[in-house]
A and B are shown apart, each in its own frame.
Chain A
Amino acid sequence: MQPFRKHQGTVAPLYRADIDTDQIIPKQFLKRIEKTGFGEFLFNDWRRSVAGASEPSFVLNQPAFAGTSILVAGRNFGCGSSREHAVWALADFGFRAVVAPSFADIFATNCAKNGLLTVAVSEAEASQIARKASEIPGYQLTIDLETLTVEDDLGFSSRFTIDEFTRHCLLEGLDDIALTLEHEADIAAYEAKHPVPAAWQV
C-alpha cells in the first residue's frame, strides 16, 4: 500500500450529500476482475451522456480541475454498496484524499486499506472549502497526516482526527494481513477452543 504522509493538491468540489458508491462507480463497471483501470469510469453516469459524450458541466471534466487529487464532498460520502471498486476508481483517477463532513463506515475502511485518506471536517468547513475550490482557480489544500492538519495558503487551517491504528498503517503503508498474522498463536489458540461446527464438516 502507498503510504500517506503529507499531500498538497488541487481541490475538486462535488459538494452534495449522500453521494453513494453506485454514483462513484456504476455497476456496469464492476465486472472487471482486476483492481486497476477503474479511474476511467469514475462517476461515469455524471461524467458522460448515455451516448458516451463528455458532460462539460461536470466538475471533473473541466480543464481547471485536470490533475486534481483532493475531492471535497457533502456529508455521508460513500454510502450504499460496499464495493471497494469505488475506492479503486478514486485512487486510479488520481485522488489521494477526500474531505467531507462524514463518510459511510465501509467506504472509510476501504479507503484506509488503499492509502486514500478520508478527512472529516465540519459541515461549515467543508462548505467553505467547496466554495473556495469552485471560485478560486487552482485552489489547493495541504493535508498532513503526521500533524493531523488540513490547510490552505489563504489562512484556513483545521485539525482532523483519525484512529491511531489507521493513521499508523497509512503513514507506514502497512499491510493488514501481515500485521494480523503476527497474532498467529492467538488465532490458533482461539480456533482450538472453537472448532468448525460439526454439521459444516461434511
Chain B
Amino acid sequence: MAVVIDKLMRHMPRTLFEKIWDDHVITSGAGRLPLLYVDLHLVHEVTSPQAFDGLRAAGRRVRQPLRTIATVDHNVPTDPRPAPIRDPIAKRQIEALEANCREFGVRLFDMESSAQGIVHVIGPELGLTQPGMTIVCGDSHTSTHGAFGALAFGIGTSEVEQVLATQCLPQRKPRTMLIRVNGELGPGVSAKDLALGVIGQIGTAGAAGFVIEYAGAAVRALSMESRMTLCNMSIEAGARAAMIAADETTFAYMKGRRFSPGAEEWEQMVARWRELAADPGAIYDRSMEIHASELAPFVTWGTNPGMVVPVGSRIPDLPPSAADRRTAERMLEYMGLEAGTPIEQIRVDRVFIGSCTNSRLEDLRAAARVAKGYRVASGVRAMVVPGSQQVKHAAEKEGLDRIFRDAGFEWREPGCSMCLGMNPDILLPGERCASTSNRNFEGRQGRGGRTHLVSPMMAAAAAIAGHFTDIRDWRFQ
C-alpha cells in the first residue's frame, strides 16, 4: 500500500512550492512539525544580536557558516562614507554584529564593503539567491527572494538562533494560492502598482497562511527587478511567502554573478531549475485572476497598505458599518485627510525613493527618466537612497545621480533609510511623504509622519509637481 501511495504521489502534479518543500523536509515525525532545511540564511544587525547571545549562552556554534551571510542595513546612516555613526545605540548594534560574525566565522558585508546594501537587494545581486532554495532572514520582506523561484520567508529572532544552531526550522506547511495576472501592464503602471492592486483587492490578511505563486503573461513579462518588487510586497497581503517560477529572465539575470554557479556547472543547474515550475494541473488551495490592463498607478491614503486607490480617483467615502467607519476616521485623522479629496490635490513635503521594494537600478532609472530636466518643487525635500553599493555605482556610471542632483534630489549612501527610519532619515510629525517603500503604518517613517506608498515614477513625479499626479500624463524631457 505504501508503495502504491508513494507512486501515486510521485505522479501527482505538484506546485512550485510543493516541489521545493518536498526537497527540503528532513523529517516529519508524528506529533512534530516538518523540519525544513535552510539553504541560505541572511542576517542583519537588528534581529540577530539576541540570537548570537543565545548561541553563546548555550555553548553552540553556527552550524553552517558558509550558508550564513550578514550585512548592515537597517541602522546605517546614509551620509557620505566613511562617516562615524553618531547614534551610540545604533553603533553598538552594528559593532555587535561585527563581533558576532568574527567570533562565529560568518561572512559580513560591512559598511566599508563594496557589496554592502539592503539584505534583500544584495542576496540576488551577489547571486546568492537561487531557484529551488529555501531562504530565511530575520526580516519579513524576505519574500523578495521568491522572485527567483525560491521559498523565502521572514522569521523572528528565536528562529534566527534556531537556524544558526541547526540550519533547520520546524515549519507548519502553509497553503498555496495561485495569482494569475493576465494581459499586459499599461504604460506608467509598474510592478509596485500590481503589488498594491493585489493588496487592495485581497486585503492585508487576504493571503495569511498562504504561499502565493504568481503566474500569467503579465508576470512572465516582468524583469527580475519588477518580480522582486511584486514578491517583496506580498507580505503586506499577509502571505508567508511569494514565488515566481524561474525562467530565461531569471537565468539571464543570475549568470556570472559572484556566488552564482560557475561555468562548469551552469547548464546542469539551469536544467534542474527548469524542472521546478508548477506541473500542469497542479492544485492550489485558492486561485484568483487579475487583469493587468485594469490596473492604474496607485496611491495609498490610509495607514495600512490595503487602503489604496488609483491616482485619478478620490479618497473613498466613509464605510457604512460603524466599526469600519471608526477605523477609517481614525486613519484619516492620522493622515490629516478628508474623505472625497481628489488624490491629485494632496500635496507632499517629502519624497523617498528607496527600500528593498524599489531601490534597484531599474527603479532608479524609472525615477530618473521622470526627473530628467525638471526641478523638485519648492518646499519639497526629496531623497534617493540606492539599495546597495553595487546599485549606487551602476547608477553613477549611467549618470543617474547627476540627473537626480540636477533636479534637486539628495543622492545618498545605501541602507534601509526612511523605509523604517531607524537611522537619522525620518519624517517630522505631520510631514507627508510620497514613498516607494512598503509600509504606511502610523509612525513607520517617523512619529506622526504620513506615508503614501507609490511607485518610483509616481514618487519622482510627486517630488516635481509638489503633489500626486498621474504619471501617464507626464511630459518626459
Which A positions have Cβ atoms within 8 angstroms of B?
A: 16-18, 20, 22-23, 26-28, 30-35, 45, 50, 75-76, 79-85, 87, 102, 104-106, 109-110, 113-114, 163-165, 168, 176-177, 179-181, 183, 186-187, 190-191, 194, 196-201
Contact = CB atoms under 8 A, between A and B. Distances in A.
B27 A186 contact: yes
Contacts of B208: 76, 102, 104-105
Contact of A187 (B167, B265, B439): B167
B388 interface: no
B449 to A, nearest CB: 11
B90 A33 contact: no
A120 to B, nearest CB: 11
B170 A176 contact: yes
B450 to A, nearest CB: 14
Contacts of B92: 31, 33
What are the 5 A-B residue pairs with the smallest beta carbon separation, nearest first?
A113-B158, A33-B49, A110-B156, A84-B156, A31-B89
A45 B87 CA distance: 21
Given A110-B156, A180-B35, A180-B162, 12 more contacts: A26-B443, A33-B93, A33-B96, A50-B448, A75-B205, A80-B439, A82-B139, A104-B208, A165-B31, A181-B166, A198-B265, A200-B128
SS class, residues of chain B in contact with chain A = loop
B75 interface: yes
A27 B422 contact: yes
Contacts of B139: 81-82
5 contacts: A79-B205, A81-B139, A110-B159, A197-B259, A200-B259
Nearest to B210: A105
Contacts of B53: 33-35
Interface string B60-71: 100010110000
B240 A200 contact: no
Interface of B: 26-27, 31-33, 35, 37, 39, 46-47, 49-50, 53, 58, 60, 64, 66-67, 74-75, 87, 89-90, 92-93, 96, 127-128, 130, 138-140, 154-159, 161-162, 165-168, 170, 172, 174, 204-205, 208-209, 238, 240, 258-262, 265, 304, 327, 330, 420-422, 429, 439, 441-444, 447-448
Contacts of A84: 47, 50, 138, 156-158
Contacts of A197: 130, 259, 261
B104 to A, nearest CB: 15
Contacts of A186: 26-27, 35
B447 A45 contact: yes
B37 A31 contact: no
A25 to B, nearest CB: 11
A16 B33 contact: no
A155 B35 CA distance: 41
A80 B303 CA distance: 12
A81 B162 contact: no
A31 B238 contact: no
Contacts of A82: 47, 138-140, 154-156
A163 B167 CA distance: 23
A44 to B, nearest CB: 9
Contact of B37 (A22, A105, A194, A196): A194
B166 A20 contact: no
B38 to A, nearest CB: 11
A45 B157 CA distance: 23
Contacts of B421: 27
Nearest to B74: A30
Given A80-B439, A110-B158, A198-B261, A177 B127 contact: no
A165 B39 CA distance: 24
Nearest to A113: B158
A126 B130 CA distance: 43
Nearest to B448: A50
A85 B156 CA distance: 9
Contact of A35 (B32, B50, B127, B444): B50
B259 A32 contact: no
Nearest to A15: B323
A32 B157 CA distance: 13
B67 A196 contact: yes
A17 B307 CA distance: 13
B312 to A, nearest CB: 26
Most buried by A among B158, B204, B259: B158
